[in-house]
Amino acid sequence: MLRDPDIVDIHCKNPEGSEGTHRISLCKWGNPEHTKKAFCVHGLTRNARDFDYLASELMREYQVFAPDMPGRGKSEWLKEPAWYNYGIYVGDVLQIFAAEKFTQVDFIGTSMGGIIGMMIAANFPQTIRKLVINDIGPFIPKDALLRIAQYAGVQPHFTDMAKAKQYYADVYTPWNLEKPEHLEHMIAHGIVHAKGGGFTTHYDPNIAFTLKDKDGKPFVEKDVDLWEMWEKVQCPVLLLRGQESDLFPREVALEMQKRHGNLTLIEYAHTGHAPSLMRESQVAEVKNWLSL
């Protein structure tokens, strides 16, 4: 049965040289007495509620946490567009770890969340026991990034909910959702009333600031190459990949496996970027691997 989380606010410090804080909305599931903690981070334009299905299952053995990263969902929009970068995201996650007094977590990250997990595992290895990476790797083709920049950097407006639903159905076709309720769940937490009427997406369009040129147009200069960082990741890794993913080519997944001594790769047919982690089979595979 799907469980709603408890939601609390965490105030994270703004970047060095800037006073003040920004508010992060943090979802929590499960008994605080559970010694095992799972920490889930969503993709670029997504939010914490993508993990409701996974958390509802993991909470039997874990206390589960998932933040809305800055500018997404119920979290505060950042004052400066340039603050939407991985340095800030990793810093925010580490501040949440400190606020919640974590000693170690099992980390589950989809796309952007997977990169955050890799960065923490590489630089703060004692904080992550096991790492689940969902459809992202240390090498990202620039053409795939440009595709994302073209929709993430705009805030669409819909005159009615039917148009919003069609937009979601189109954009998230690659997720290969199992049930209509999964799309309805995403819409319920990802579409909001727009100022002046109608509906829009529940994120700050400036989250794609680093994927734009000086004129604000989508621009990606080169591929992302983080292989040096990947080689520092030592914890056990479960790597999930959609077989049709353009953001995560199969050769990258195989090279990750080659360079890491303890990596399990699972691929999903008829799925692009990214596996939803809402399908019962996907939830079961993550849960089973974490319990090994």
What tens digit of pLDDT does each residue of 136-190 get?
999 999 999 998 888 888 889 999 999 999 999 999 999 999 999 999 999 999 9
| pLDDT at residue 242, rounded to an integer | 99
User: Cβ–Cβ contacts within 10 Å for residue 79, how many?
Assistant: 11
CA distance 66 to 52: 9
Does the structure show a pLDDT above 90 at 62?
A: yes
CA distance 128 to 119: 11
Residue 77 pLDDT class (50, 70, 90 cuts): very high
User: In order of start, what are the domains of the chain with their CATH numbers?
Assistant: 6-140+225-291 (3.40.50.1820)
| pLDDT at residue 176, rounded to an integer | 98
CB-count burial class (<10 Å; 0-12, 13-18, 19+) for 230: buried
User: Cβ–Cβ contacts within 10 Å for residue 162, how many?
Assistant: 10
pTM of the model: 0.98
Q: What is the mean pLDDT of residues 208-234?
A: 93
CA distance 149 to 73: 19
Q: What is the mean pLDDT of residues 43-63?
A: 98
At 184, the amino acid letter reads: E
Q: What is the mean pLDDT of residues 281-290?
A: 99
CA distance 256 to 261: 10
When the pLDDT of each residue in the chain is averaged and rounded to a whole number, the result is 97
Give 103's strand partners. Answer: none
